Structure 1
């Protein structure tokens, strides 16, 4: 049975029809096709660009069963592409071979030098071995590696020369580097080293934003996970750590808005559980000042393009999520997809 979809495609806002040829979209209509989407608003799926499926805490071992459950949670929410920037274990090959699973772009295991992460939760390496390890994780993943550049607010970040060497080595094999950064020094080193994506960036110096735009460093601020903890932090007893955290949080929304306005690619990522809640991050991006269409694009077509997949065009993967109302005008619609098609198969 040939499947057919039609509706208003975002962001183009054009009514289009596609028929499904295996796991590919074909423009136009097909004779005697089963019309599984008839009208509404069509996206190529949502994207969570910063999620860690497979384990929920440092006490829980990574497992295939947990990974499958998390990826299904994403899929059932209309998230058809995820990026895992670092994990407790490498994402297994079966994920890409299972037609029920979202597309995954992985970065291998977190790479952490001494004192800069939860001990043993990622791949602990010395500063001297970091370049070699980064190349290994990039080669073993979807072409990404993830480096923990800083950790505690009162401790130094990974030296700039070492991070620069990592970026040069990974770029030399065609890979990309994601950098965990929350301190001002860490974010500065990441931008100056030319990383491909800045994760969190809580104390990012706005003076670095133009450089990020010029060199193509994406910004994944994970606002929703920070926003969820802001009230608890404000209620805590005053301390240097608390004051540092709140100062960073209070500057984040204006910084995200400035990054977007400067032309930085801003991406939606949750870094939290449950999986399948990227719509909350999209809402936070809009709250930061991104126009509704740009905020949605950061969690859909723009993120998809950044991660190497096209939107709703002829020959693209047959990934379609339909909504009854325009999600750029009614953000609550994102929680209620009317149809989900993944890899040419109707999921819901």
Structure 2
């Protein structure tokens, strides 16, 4: 395999670098005959921390062909690492490891309560069994995902059950993500000490300081929520009565406040078609997050949270290269010059 080389300004530090892909590891030691594939502004790969590849519609089974297409879209957009907090089924062995996939971590099928969540998706163990099932899942894949709330008025997973799930998942060496879109679900999740809250719509801002202190991350999926809000507001009658309007309307402010409070905020899309991580970064910036921090949530900060270093000697050989600083021109995120995963170049998406 040819040794690839990238050269330019590395983020987040803004220092010049000259990197060589020695197999699946970066090195600054020059390699004779290395192929210079791109120069420019270099990020250690983009990250989509909330994506559900492999099924075209809610409730459908995992389809390997759809999965391949979805992962290709991620790669073409510069995403070299994904986290799937919930999949329509157990993925094939090549998921997250082959040349046609970004690196990936996942939580297996969602875990939900009886009568809640998407019909046809996930598992619904008895409440007493939920902590053990979550721990068993996390022991297999590193993550488990619990839907703690669903529709207005639905029962929220009791805090004592969720607290036990956290303890057992951690004892198994894993992490626990939760779906929450109501204030009570968010309160229970923070009190139980979960590792990440997905969506977090309706979350009480007073809880942000505790989240930062105990290390509970927030993946706001802001572009998905604000996009859905726009659809609701287009119908005045629906806008007057829809339960999501208050929480969705405040979600941008919540996201910006979480960043300022020191919460680890992760960029995740939760939309189809896949490959739209740039839209999530732009949604964060529109909400008042600085471009540097918004891109961090979709790159080096997210990689660090998921256990991968940045552009340093010995780090996994992932990178995305842009022609200019994406912090001053967010449009650069739509047109990577080169995408490198595991020391191999992936053809970037071509745009006008």
Q: Please state which band the TM-score falls in when normalised by the shorter chain.
A: over 0.9
Which residue pairs with 2:294 in the alignment? 295
Specify the alignment match of 2:276 in structure 1.
277
Q: Residue 123 of structure 1 aligns with which residue? A: 123
SS across alignment from 1:112: coil
Aligned residue in 1 for 2:3: 2
Distance across 2 between alignment mates of 1:157 and 1:50: 22
Residue of structure 1 equivalent to 2:187: 188
Runs of 4+ in 1 over 4 A off after TM superposition: 237-241
Q: Helix, strand or coil: the match of 2:233?
A: helix
1:98, distance to aligned residue in structure 2 (A): 1.1
Output aligned runs, 1:1-348, within 5 Å: 1-37=2-38, 39-141=39-141, 143-236=142-235, 238=237, 242-348=241-347
CA distance in structure 1 between the partners assigned to 2:185 and 2:332 by the alignment: 37
SS at structure 2 position matched to 1:100: coil
Superposed CA deviations along residues 291-337 of structure 1, whole A, max 9, x for unmatched, are 11000010011101101111111011111111001101100000000
- TM-fit CA distance, 1:289: 1.3
Q: Does structure 2 conserve the Cα–Cα contact (< 8 Å) formed by 1:116 and 1:149?
A: no
* CA distance in 2 between partners of 1:96 and 1:238 (Å): 44
Deviation at 1:44, TM superposition (A): 1.1
Distance 1:94 1:314 in 2: 26
What's the CA shift string for 1:145-199, capped at 9, x where partnerless?
0000000012221111111111111011111000000011000000000000000
* Paired position in structure 1 for 2:350: none
Q: Secondary structure at the match of 2:250?
A: helix
Q: Is there any run of 5+ residues in structure 1 with no aligned partner, and where? A: none
1:231 match: secondary structure: helix
Deviation, structure 1 residue 35: 1.3
Structure 2: 5+ residue stretches without partners: 348-352
- Secondary structure, in 3 states, of the residue corresponding to 2:254? helix
The secondary structure found in structure 2 opposite 1:146 is strand
Query: Hey, what's the Cα distance between the residues in 1 that align with 2:17 and 2:218?
Result: 32
Call closer, same or farther: CA 1:43–1:240 in 2, change over 3 Å.
closer
**Contact 1:4–1:33 (8 Å) recurs in 2:** yes
TM-score scaled by length of structure 2: 0.95
Matched-pair contact (CA < 8 Å) for 1:51–1:269? yes
